[in-house]
Structure 1
Amino acid sequence: MADTTGDPTRTEATTDPQSRQSSWRHIGPGIVVAATGVGAGDLVATLIAGSSFGYTLLWAAVAGCLVKISLAEAAGRWHLSTGRTLFDGWASLGRWATWFFAGYVVIWGFVYGAAAMSAGALPLQALFPDVMDLKWWAVACGLVGLVFVWFNRYAVFEKVMTVLVGVMFVVTVYLAVRVTPNLPDLLAGLLPVLPDEEDSVLNTLGLIGGVGGTITLAAYGYWVNAKGWSDTGWMKVMRLDNRVAYATTGVFVVAMLIVGAELLHSAGIALAGGGKGLIQLGGVLEAEYGAATAKFFLIGFFATSFTSLIGVWHGVSLMFADFVARYRGCRDRQEVTGENAAAGRRERSWPFRAYLLWLTFPPIVLLFQGRPFRLVILYGVLGAAFLPFLAGTLLWLLNSSRTPREWRNGALSNAMLFIAGLLFLVLCVKQIWDQDWSAFF
């Protein structure tokens, strides 16, 4: 693919003296990426870390936010400095990147759809146990998400996500305050210390890597464009927005670690993985603080799960629409001022809506028939491989002539992306090693 770094439309945007001032009123895509990235699995992983190790791994949760800041900032910087989407950058690296994304987005989306619908159904069934079966709650969540994203554009989507993030924030902070954190122990947890247990290094790396998002980090640049940020004049705004995103994520995970340390660790209560662990926590909260607190928590649990569902339904569908447009060779070559319009067209395009349907209806079959072993194994491997792929390709793109010189990586960006890539590569190898390959063959 030809390199468009020298496109004259980029020069004016790169040197634009009227750079937008960073302001809280512009915040938006960061809230979306934080809401989408923090799902039920992230909260449970943090709760389990707190219940198992107390405050010892608080520093790891904070480090996870810093790692993800570097990845999202790099994705946003690529979009704004080049006027090209992230998939456009991947396509310029060769067919291998294109085919990796194609395989990932098809298999991952199929299995993730079922997981996301199930996570949204769990708190609803707990709140309304006599209404219908868990599987039908899951189907309802998927269909509501489909209809919402199908008929609404980014502006409405962002507003709804912001409201749900507000619910998540209030619930998690309330719970953290309610369990009365031990402040000296909390502050001591910021020191980088490993638990004195077997596999403590891998457990710590897993917590760092599990904070806040996978493919949603790549979707961040697409949401930046959908917001109307299309050139380097928005760079300061994007960076503030990104920091707010992971400060918000940090509040969620630290609050849940406090709950795990104070409520579960002291009582020796172990939680199951995934959304079922949050249902268990609801029962513990009801026994300790009453039914009202438990229901309040379940509302926050639903907000967490549903934001992840509609966030993926919207963001990954944008990426898929971009992928199809490039595969067909029919992308509209926009000047930088036209990127918001291009994003709006993607939301109305048939590939966007086709991927929405793919995320919704085939996974419903998995809800009723169970998950094929081979598909689950491929899902786990591809999911583990995506973040090393993202970190590595961003390092490549942002240190090459594809990026205008003044917006290429500095020493800090390179160090953070290298650390992120190494971390996720280790976790990828562990994930592949832990798979039950006998079920595959």
Structure 2
Amino acid sequence: MADTTDHSTDDTYSADDTYSADESASPTTRKASWRHIGPGIVVAATGVGAGDLVATLIAGSKFGYTLMWAAIVGCIVKISLAEATGRWHLATGRTMFDGWRSLGGWTSVYFGIYVVVWGFIYGATAMSSTALPLVALFPDTPGGLKTFAIAAGLIGLALVWFNRYARFEKLMTVLIGVKFLIVVYVAVRVAPDLPAAFAGLAPVLPDGSFFYTLGLIGGVGGTITLAAYGYWINSKGWTDATWMKMMRLDNRVAYATTGVFVVAMLIIGAELLHASNIALTSGDKGLLELGGVLEDRFGVFTAKLFLIGFCATSFSALVGVWHGVSLLFADFAERIQRTRQGIDEDAVAEVAEGRRERSWPFRAYMLWLTFPPMGLLWLDEPFGLVIAYGVLGAAFMPFLALTLVWLLNSERTPREWRNGTVSNSMLALAGLLFLILAVRQIVDLPWSDFF
């Protein structure tokens, strides 16, 4: 945690740099120090899962370096969303869910249904994704995928259940370090065409790539974990606007790291697959197929190293969700319960002091993420559940972007920290982008199977 005695006026942040506000109203801020970065590492480790890697990999395999710009834009969009989430927590001293509740009871109804259905499906997906590379590394293990998937869920549960935020952050730093080094190593190994990569920064849309490009922009670097970012900065001990400059540095580091992952995977797809006209299966299994291509090209060591990186990527997303989304759910459950009891609470202080991590809703949601989804390892996902998951999931990112616009332009936010032109433009762009993707995703759901 930063030295709280460092309140130098030489380091005061002027809100006029980005937001429409009077400079004299801007609070004195703590110095932004690289050694205090942490929540950004957590959000980067959680937000970039196997699905993000394979989507970027396939983009490179289909279009070469042409969509490099889209991957970069995706990171910029997510920087804006995460910054807005963090700014709400620090400027108002209220949590994201508290902000949603102030917009009306409909937000609690939507979030309550969403987080239950999403958690059930995601739990099985995260466990299976972590298990896939382990099965490839240890093919003779009895039970195969189910054994490794159950083990991943139980280990993730134990790591979050028995540790507090500080240790959780250190674990996530190790996991992101492993996958960062491995993915960059493989990208360097395939010998990128640097002139073509720089040319890919020009915004060009190849034929038939419109919705694919929007999906690439929207899929880079997390969904619900963006809402969890505010809870992680509170868990770090950043609880008021004096931490704003530190939060912004932390957030930029997070998405710079995410950008490196995305660019590295796009390079691998462009050089290893596009040039050889090799097509991969969509979904996590595409990464297993890439392991086979790497083995043919560079040998067993590189292939196995990549599988370890694949496992670290999936497991870091699993552990991050077990912690971050459980914090969101705990805030949701505790706020509703205490409102009914007429109890006023300081939710930000409870998160910062670690009381949310010891609460029964936090642990109950972790159990929900772990045990009920194990049943899906034996059963195909019911069509009705797939439809509900698809509709609710598609609606979340427009919900987040548009409610942030609402909250950060209203009197709920102190004037000096309200949105300016840049932030409003980025959040509006994100909301429109995710709304288009939501409609597309809902239309593409298997409605005929359901009816």
- Between 362-371 and 69-78, report the one with greater CA deviation: 362-371
Superposition map of 1:271-310 within 5 A: 271-310=280-319
| C-alpha separation in 1, matches of 2:332 and 2:218 | 26
- 2:34 pairs with one of 21, 24, 43: 24
- The percent of aligned pairs where both chains have the same amino acid is 71
**d(CA) in 2 for partners of 1:422, 1:402:** 23
What's 2:55 paired with?
A: 45
Task: Identify the residue that residue 186 of structure 1 maps to in structure 2.
Answer: 197
List per-residue Cα deviations over 1:334-385 (Å, max 9, x = no partner).
39766511xx011000000000000000000011122111101111111111
Per-residue CA distance 1:137-164 (angstroms, 9 max, x = gap):
1111001101111101000000000011
TM-score for the superposition, normalised by structure 1: 0.94
- 2:432 pairs with one of 403, 409, 422: 422
Letter in 2 for 1:58: M
What letter corresponds to residue 59 of structure 1 in structure 2? W
The corresponding residue for 1:222 is 231
1:105-120 aligned at under 5 Å gives the runs 105-120=115-130
1:359-398 to 2 correspondences below 5 Å: 359-398=369-408
Q: Which of 13, 27, 34 in structure 1 is aligned with 2:44?
A: 34
Matched, 1:151 2:162: yes
Distance 2:371 2:309 in 1: 26
When the two chains are superposed, the root-mean-square deviation of aligned CA atoms in Å is: 1.2
Aligned-partner SS, 2:378: helix
Q: In structure 1, what is the Cα distance between the partners aligned to 2:53 and 2:79?
A: 18
Question: How much has 1:240 moved relative to structure 2?
Answer: 0.3
Q: Distance in 1 between matches of 2:372 and 2:189?
A: 41
Change (3 A) 1:146 1:61: same
Q: Mark the CA change 1:80 to 1:288 in structure 2 (over 3 Å): closer, same or farther.
A: same
1:63 aligns with 2:73: yes
How far, CA to CA, are the matches of 2:27 and 2:61 in structure 1? 51
Residue deviations 1:366-417 (CA, integer Å, cap 9, x gap): 1112211110111111111100000000000000000000000010000000
8 Å CA contact 1:374–1:439 kept in 2: the answer is no
Q: For residues 332 and 304 of structure 1, what CA distance do their matches in structure 2 show?
A: 40
- Which residue number in structure 2 is paired with residue 94 of structure 1? 104
AA matched with 1:220: Y
- State the Cα deviation string for residues 208-239 of structure 1 (Å, max 9, x = none): 00101000000000000000000111000000
Query: Counterpart of 2:187?
Result: 176
**Amino acid in structure 2 at the alignment position of 1:258:** I
Q: Relative to 1, partners in 2 of residues 1:131 and 1:43: Cα closer, same or farther, differing over 3 Å?
A: same
Distance 2:119 2:352 in 1: 25
Deviation at residue 333 of structure 1 after TM alignment: 2.5
State the SS of the aligned residue for 1:369: coil
Q: Against the structure 1 CA distance between its residues 376 and 116, is the aligned structure 2 distance closer, same or farther, given a 3 Å change threshold?
A: same
Contact 1:283-1:294 at 8 Å conserved across structures: yes
Q: CA deviation at 1:438?
A: 2.1
Q: State the Cα distance separating 1:329 from its structure 2 match.
A: 2.0
- The question of whether the paired residues in 1 share the 8 Å contact of 2:94 and 2:347 is answered with no
Q: Say whether residues 1:318 and 2:327 are aligned partners.
A: yes
Equivalent residues of 2:338, 2:344 under 8 A apart: no
- State the shift of 1:318 in Å: 0.2
Matches within 5 A, 1:116-131: 116-131=126-141
Equivalent position SS for 1:329: helix
Counterpart AA for 1:191: A
Q: Does the alignment pair 1:233 with 2:242? A: yes
Aligned to 2:16: none
Question: How many corresponding residue pairs?
Answer: 423
Deviations 1:43-80 (A, max 9, x none): 00000000000000000000000000000000000000
Are the equivalent residues in 2 in contact too, given 1:230–1:339 (CA < 8 A)? no
Moved more, 373-382 or 412-421: 373-382
1:244 equivalent to 2:253? Answer yes
Trace 1:339-378 onto structure 2 (pairs within 5 A).
340-341=352-353, 344-378=354-388
* Structure 2 segments unaligned to the other structure (5+ residues): 1-24
Contact in 2 for aligned 1:50/1:258 (Cα 8 Å): yes
Q: Retained in 1: the 8 A contact 2:100–2:108?
A: yes
Higher alpha-carbon deviation: 250-259 or 265-274: 265-274
The answer to whether the aligner puts 1:333 opposite 2:345 as a matched pair is yes
Distance, in Å, in 2 between the alignment partners of 1:338 and 1:112 is: 27
What amino acid is the match of 1:372?
Answer: P
